[in-house]
Chain A
């Protein structure tokens, strides 16, 4: 039982103290049993306060520390490390979240927010009294890294790991590397051809003998966790009656780089599928790249006037893709310029929702304006319409750049500027239990603090599987993810959190309820002294606590959240 506790209550520079009366909180808890002192601080996470905390621990001979501040997601680790620098076991540190749970949640009720904060801090103090020192689990980690997906992001991730002398296995489902990038001709910003770019990276990759490249192979099952993942790989049968080949791989970390799908317009969306002069941006890019004649032809007909309808499948006001796909404005403008330069008699008409050629990409927009491209703009409520009149394609649009005037034009080709959507094949995500964001792309832990990590330890995300990106943005994210995966396991040993489930095997009579409840398959059945009992794999267990309430004989405790700790917290909250 801890008897010398120090409590810090953070203003969060106003984020908390604008709504929670932090002085009142301090006064309300400073005489709680065991509390040696309680202080308020402007930014608990600042360097100055961290230094003060370490000093306080020594000076006041503290045995427990509590910080009441923001979400533990942000700074639990920060304060655990401070506690450790004060020579206390870092797991005895207890965090109270009075920002997300009090000040922000009740910004309309300052008194109530303050009351709630007092209760939360009291509960944290109660827990702190019982918080035992804990020690991380140490184990050996496999030093090989798997990269799943052989597009530009996966290839660059693999290459950068190879350069760092790490063993890498690059697993690609399709029969070649390069992903979507390899399908393209000229790319925006450099005019390098897509397949030339992927070929030169592939050539670099093949120079390393610490890289294994698997194409035509698919991950069908994953087991284990950071340091020791088991991947089951199936080789796609090459001929019809080839036998199915299954292979198992042992890796320490996984970079997921499974990319995106092109948005496929619905049948009839802007005439797609019903009017054969309506095609998508990827189809148009291929057409421009592959055509060698002096003029552009499509289905035997010469193309002069082209209408580009922007944001198809993106920025939907009705529909699930509310996000902007980020690359498509620049991509279509670049391709339209290319078409105009390459073929005779092209007139480009862009129907946009506001051009988003951010950064230096603006120069392409400027060039296209200079070349005489026409830009019209519509809003999300009055979308352009495509009709067929006498076998001719007619586009109508209400142009907000000319005071909402209705415009009608006859065109030879309509290009639907389709965006990016998450992969239809979500098997990797489901196998690894990767969380998804509102946009249904994989989600990072924190956009600024941990942008390439996922809540599944040891699994990082690279490229467009995390959200729309262009090529250089995908490469930046891939190299960041690769370095993160590398840093997890490059030492060969790993530590995992000691906060896991623990089974009282004398009380357990194996009913399998806990193993069914565990989302991570961490509980297995073992024989012990002639009895069948449950056992927790400490490396796999995430300490989520799903198993504890289902046990009919109450044989499971969550270390760090023992019944004693939780009951004392509930008493303090009541």
Chain B
């Protein structure tokens, strides 16, 4: 068995997206010591990779970067990136023991200046997961420009161990001898903020994703219009042409029993209308059509946002997409049932964006002893008292924040994190007097 270092904190927060980050800050500001464990290389979850956020159209980076910076610098928060909680046992009230595996980054973060010389030196190119495959990256790389920590990572799976980066690094912070570290953590409460997974459109072959280059996902479009975008303009990946007839296919992977996801993802209508508005600003000549079943703009300022999109000239078509086919010039033919007219129609677009939905990330369920952490039928963390205490899970002292319990937009994720941290503080207070 590996050697384990024993550490102690008041609270363990798993997942450093906007929900986990918010919960950690709330606990830390109240004076509790928090360990924030993130499996990825950066804080910020999905939100840090978004363009602007509905309905206010604030730039996502402008809200997320200072937040992650506050987390990284907070005296009461310790951050473990590239780390996984492999097991948690509840020994008693206020007494959780967690096993944590911290994988090697092969770069000493404290010494890295993010000068990118290693990136230049590295001969290996692979798909860049932070740009959702739109471009490539090296095996020695900085995840993305506003990543936190902003430091290089060696992608050891793709690394050929040629040593070029090590030679190029001026501060000698690359260290191939780093090994996985194991920790045993004692914590009094746990917050699960493990977020969601995006629906994989390869599951719907009739939409041609992966086969037709100009069919992309909404997350890829999000990257194309983000400030830290991969190209400096909006391009269709097939041939680098600037698109001028863009279609959105809503409910891709949601409200669809054929792929086993009957529920609505509750964010895709809104983010699609947001992207449409941003695209109209960037490409004033482009036509944008949104194919929808229902438009779900239910939050504060959302219905007004929908009306604004209509007013700007976004074309809304109530219709279900049957099949997408590709023409020789890379354009796409959408066959759909026009519900308003009751007929099947075809339309040509030069780029199609699939508004992919929210799927659960069931990873949290496996961490706990036996089946003590209950999941709902769709594998989201089950909410034990949904109406009275939405953050409570089946284990007393373990709380859930953000999309780990179901689809949610950012404002709702933040309030849910507020709720989870509030419950955690109450739980911690309950045992302080004893």
Contacts and interface: CB of A to CB of B under 8 A. Distances in A.
Interface residues of B, number: 76
B65 A43 contact: yes
B341 A403 contact: yes
A141 to B, nearest CB: 16
B62 A45 contact: yes
A448 B263 contact: no
A452 B418 contact: yes
Given A359-B406, A476-B419, A480-B422, A451 B411 contact: yes
Given A189-B387, A400-B339, A477-B415, A359 B264 contact: yes
Contacts of B227: 11-15, 42-43
Interface stretch (A23-31, A132-140, A158-166): A158-166
Interface string B28-70: 0110000000000000000000000101101101110110110
Given A14-B227, A362-B263, A476 B429 contact: no
A383 to B, nearest CB: 17
Contacts of A366: 262
A299 interface: no
A448 B423 contact: no
Interface in B368-414: 376, 378, 383, 386-391, 406-408, 410-412, 414
A45 B263 contact: no
Contacts of A402: 342
Nearest to B282: A18
A94 B286 CA distance: 41
Contact of B295 (A15, A187, A354, A451): A354
Contact of A471 (B387, B407, B423): B387
Interface stretch (B130-138, B162-170, B302-310, B347-355): B302-310
B315 to A, nearest CB: 15
A294 interface: no
B91 interface: no
Given A197-B388, A322-B304, A360-B406, A47 B150 contact: yes
A437 interface: yes
Interface string B304-323: 10010000000000100000
A497 B301 CA distance: 31
A356 B296 contact: yes
B26 interface: yes
A164 B264 contact: no
A355 B342 CA distance: 19
B422 A479 contact: yes
Contacts of B146: 43, 46
A467 B375 CA distance: 30
Contacts of B299: 326, 467
B68 A47 contact: yes
Contacts of B252: none
A309 to B, nearest CB: 17
A472 B303 CA distance: 21
B387 A487 contact: no
Given A47-B148, A189-B387, A362 B418 contact: no
A325 B258 CA distance: 31
Interface in A54-103: 70, 74-75, 78
Contacts of A360: 263, 376, 378, 406-407
Nearest to A450: B414
Interface in B332-351: 339-342
Given A197-B388, A324-B298, A45 B26 contact: no
Given A438-B304, A486-B30, 11 more contacts: A45-B69, A46-B69, A47-B73, A70-B62, A324-B298, A324-B303, A359-B407, A401-B339, A447-B300, A448-B411, A483-B418
23 contacts: A12-B227, A13-B59, A42-B145, A42-B227, A46-B150, A47-B148, A50-B69, A160-B423, A163-B429, A164-B426, A164-B429, A197-B388, A357-B264, A359-B264, A359-B266, A359-B406, A400-B318, A437-B301, A475-B387, A475-B388, A483-B26, A483-B30, A483-B421
